[in-house]
Structure 1
């Protein structure tokens, strides 16, 4: 009989395999860790693999900071063939000859770098009236999608053997690499679809740090939580504020405290003993609590600092 699920807190950097959904990978990891609460930080399509940070317990409160982080991908594109989904899971729409060489491909890439607009694909999890777009697409219903601003920080050709092209992309959250491949294909006049995709980085996390489900399963159950990163691992880009015992007590009670430094914006809060207790907004000479860890942990931190 499996023991009762435990309140596990932390971040698991998972190397999601090809062939399963992000949610299936999450549920498998959740089961292996025997965790109560879990969530992922942005989906990867079933045909894609790579870095999928998973948040457990209190870490789910801070998952938005990875959802909004920049992403890095290695993508493989097939020129000359367009599909209904923009990836290998869709039906072929058209086949055209590929006349473009590597120089032609290099020449069109600069137009996609920097701030640009994308129309989200119908086969995506983006919601319309509470339902994901892919449900409408499967029913043959086309929904009008306004273009969205995205940012391509870097777009570099890695391998070029037309009709197959491999490129690396660094982009803002919300960028659809399938759409990028389709747009590149359209610019070349032959069309294209994505045949492979690997996420290689999310924020400051790298794929090399990630663990596979197979490796997680191979560990004894008692050792699996050792792979978890701490709650604040997603927040290292934010400034640190070390609190006194009195400041800790006030903030965990929901009260603001005076703050003499000129720091503005979100900051990480640490109680005496270097215990992370959450986030506050710094400004106007005070710290205002914004997102704090659970009541039991906060009480323990307050007692430790008293």
Structure 2
């Protein structure tokens, strides 16, 4: 009988709402956090480019099962567009493709905002992670291959001007999954006849998480340094002591796995009902306070997320069960 492979890392679970700094890629951020927590599993809810900062929710352990639900949540960005140039990447990193001496007035920018709210068609940037013929678009673009990504439907709930001065306009946008802020800058610049590209970008919300939940890399590193200070390097148990001290400092920074699901219908269960759900079986919901039918709903036991499933025909039917 083959030996069962031992899992690497700790069975730690929860969400770290990471305030990603400029210059760090999303994959690098996840790897860093996974290593610091020595977690078995880790993933993130929505890529942020290295030139963008802000909210990058990172899921550890059981929380990785809730990543799709966070990715589907609304996102808020603050971004600044510099007018007068369009670049290959639609941000400050790419080569300039087109220039213009024109600069739009505040009134001109305000006048086109309705064209970029609601359900719109948007063509993603050539330098994006979208796959074209099995290859990442940005890999093809870097090799000089032509990249033609079809326009797709995206949802933009609101787009407003924060400031406008000296050839730059700062915006705030609330949008749905799959929206590219760089494409907004490119398309607005073309419509205004002056070209444009993003020079600053920060994500402030990935629903249900926002900046109040966020932890910076500096805060994490300071907590680790203070926790490990004074532990002798030559002690036989130094490594174990350092790890124990690190985890004691970092684990309180995690939000509970269930925090990701608080905007979905909830059912409180216990006893026999909770045990039936653990086994993957449906439970009957009784009483006048029983929730309405829902394609996505959650069962909580003593305040902890037990399962995600469906409410239908007076039952909660689990699809994904969590270790509690």
TM-score (norm 2): 0.86
- Kindly indicate whether residue 25 of structure 2 is the aligned counterpart of residue 21 of structure 1: yes
Bigger shift: 278-287 or 229-238? 278-287
Q: Secondary structure at the match of 1:242?
A: strand
1:132 shift after superposition? 1.6
Q: Distance in 1 between matches of 2:113 and 2:304?
A: 47
Q: Secondary structure at the match of 1:63?
A: helix
Asked if 1 retains the 8 angstrom alpha-carbon contact of 2:75 and 2:175, the reply is yes
Asked if 2 retains the 8 angstrom alpha-carbon contact of 1:113 and 1:155, the reply is yes
1:109 shift after superposition? 1.3
Check 1:20–1:275 CA distance in 2 against 1; reply closer, same or farther (3 A cut): closer
- Deviations along 1:181-231, one digit per CA (max 9) or x if unpaired, are 111101100110101100011113212321111211111212101000001
Q: Distance in 2 between matches of 1:274 and 1:108?
A: 46
Given candidates 138, 145, 151, the residue that maps to 1:141 is: 145
Check 1:7–1:244 CA distance in 2 against 1; reply closer, same or farther (3 A cut): closer
The Cα RMSD (Å) is 1.4
Q: Secondary structure at the match of 2:215?
A: coil
Q: Distance in 2 between matches of 1:37 and 1:115?
A: 35
1:78-227 equivalences under 5 Å are: 78-219=82-223, 220=227, 221=246, 222-227=248-253
1:265-284 equivalences under 5 Å are: 265=294, 266-271=296-301, 273-284=302-313
Q: Secondary structure at the match of 1:12?
A: strand
Q: Distance in 2 between matches of 1:69 and 1:132?
A: 24
1:5 shift after superposition? 2.5
Gaps of 5+ in 2: 1-7, 228-245
1:20-39 equivalences under 5 Å are: 20-39=24-43
Q: Secondary structure at the match of 1:141?
A: coil
1:140 shift after superposition? 1.5
Check 1:91–1:64 CA distance in 2 against 1; reply closer, same or farther (3 A cut): same
- Kindly indicate whether residue 37 of structure 2 is the aligned counterpart of residue 11 of structure 1: no
What's 2:4 paired with? none
Asked if 2 retains the 8 angstrom alpha-carbon contact of 1:71 and 1:172, the reply is yes
May I ask how many residue pairs the two structures share in their alignment? 291
1:286-297 equivalences under 5 Å are: 286-294=315-323, 297=324
Bigger shift: 134-143 or 61-70? 134-143
Check 1:190–1:275 CA distance in 2 against 1; reply closer, same or farther (3 A cut): closer
- Deviations along 1:243-286, one digit per CA (max 9) or x if unpaired, are 23111121211222223335211221123x33321212101222
Q: Distance in 1 between matches of 2:103 and 2:149?
A: 31
Asked if 2 retains the 8 angstrom alpha-carbon contact of 1:41 and 1:64, the reply is yes
Check 1:195–1:99 CA distance in 2 against 1; reply closer, same or farther (3 A cut): closer
Q: Distance in 1 between matches of 2:116 and 2:218?
A: 37
Q: Distance in 1 between matches of 2:70 and 2:147?
A: 28
Q: Distance in 1 between matches of 2:192 and 2:151?
A: 21
Q: Distance in 2 between matches of 1:114 and 1:148?
A: 13
Q: Distance in 2 between matches of 1:36 and 1:286?
A: 33
1:245-264 equivalences under 5 Å are: 245-260=271-286, 261=290, 263-264=292-293
- Deviations along 1:169-189, one digit per CA (max 9) or x if unpaired, are 111111000000111101100
